[in-house]
Amino acid sequence: MAVDTMVREEAVMVEPAPDPREMRKFADRNGILILAHSYQDGHIQDAAHFVGDSLELAREAVEVKASRICFCGVHFMAETAKILNPESHVFMPDLKAGCSLAEGCDAKDLARYQAHLKGKLGRDDLVTICYINCTAAVKALSDIVCTSGNALEAVNSVPRGTPILFVPDVHLGGWVKENTDREIYLWNATCVVHELFSVDTLRALKKEHPDAQILAHPECPKNIRDEADFVRGTAGMLRIVTANKGKTYIVATEGNMVHRFKTEAPENTYIAAPGPSCACNLCPHMQRNTPEKLWYSLRTGRYEVFVDDAVAVNARKALERMLAVRVAR
């Protein structure tokens, strides 16, 4: 759909969104499954049938076999749901919800770099592992997809002695490198949200709440990870907070994750680590999806997500390898 048409349609998305339960009932009546990422607005999370991280949502998308999926997240996630459910009508509230990591790794550039690295190493057996935050075209050029929840296991599943190219997140790749002895080469893209947390702010919060524990996402730079008590993907963070009561956590990841923590482990106190200015811990791409746009999307089935068939075949193989990787608890 042309962007100007979308802009015109956005202008008519003025109908206020009903209560989350009403939206879910509407979806039920119309055979629509609503999947939402944990970084979505709380109203959207409450309307969803299932809330999860990228790995959980990919698994859910495979298991549920819904004919209509409204995906509340960013574009690469909806693409993933479409690849895993080629027969389904997958749509999302805003097609322009992107991701700085996905934008930071162009498939043509990756193909060129793979060829360059193979030549430089004098080896054809380079294995490319891509973090799920990338386009379908990049997944199609990769051997295995991973998430923050299974990146280390994905790397360790590669036979010893085989060089690995990890794309696109330089910080997640750096964290994996710190935790394995495999030979890893890194791409250099970053998440605009996780890159902005500051050590000074974390230390100030810790001073104010000396008993609090800091949870940091591995997409954070090393100086932030080094301040943390736990470095975990969103699912790993959730396991920690649901296993505890009466604790205080300073959370260095996208700000809406706190809504999920409060829903699933309300007995703890959560402090969202702020960015350098007030709202910078919210992903601007995720925030493109609003409750009003979700409501519009449910009523119209827009905006549909398509993936080229040839790309989807190869990307699906890499995704299936991700789903097969066992995650250490």
68 membership: H or E segment, kind and range: strand 68-72
Whose tokens are 């959370």? That residue is 251
Q: Which is nearer to ligand SF4, 56 or 254 (CB)?
A: 254
Q: Which x/- pattern, by CB under 6 A, does the window 14-33 give for ligand SF4? A: --------------------
Please say which residue, 279 or 313, places its beta carbon nearer to ligand SF4.
279
Longest dimension (CA), the chain: 60
Q: Select the residue interacting with ligand SF4 from 88, 133, 150, 290 (CB under 6 A).
A: 133
Cis preceding-peptide flag for 168 (omega within 30 of 0): yes
Whether residue 35 contacts residue 60, with contact meaning beta carbons closer than 8 Å, is answered with yes
Tokens representing residue 248 in the block = 């205080």
- Shortest gap between Cβ of 100 and ligand SF4 (angstroms)? 4
| Closer residue to ligand SF4 (CB): 47 or 77 | 77
Residues 88-107 that bind ligand SF4 (CB under 6 A): 99-101
DSSP 239-288: HHHHT-SS-EEEEES-TTHHHHHHHH-TTSEEEEPP-SSTTTTS-TTGGG
The answer to whether residue 283 forms part of the interface with ligand SF4 (CB under 6 A) is: yes
Interacting stretch for ligand SF4, rule CB under 6 A, among 78-86, 267-275, 278-286, 303-311? Answer: 278-286
Closest CA to 86 of 107, 103, 69: 69
| Structural contact between residues 166 and 176, judged by C-beta atoms closer than 8 angstroms | yes
**Pick 99 or 240: Cβ nearer ligand SF4:** 99
Task: Supply the minimum distance, in Å, between the C-beta of residue 101 and ligand SF4.
Answer: 5
Specify the residue, 27 or 290, whose C-beta has the smaller distance to ligand SF4.
290
- Which of 36, 132, 193, 251: binder of ligand SF4 (CB under 6 A)? 193
Cα separation, 311 vs 316, in Å, equals: 8
Binding site for ligand SF4 (CB under 6 A): 39, 74, 99-101, 133, 191-193, 254, 283, 285-286
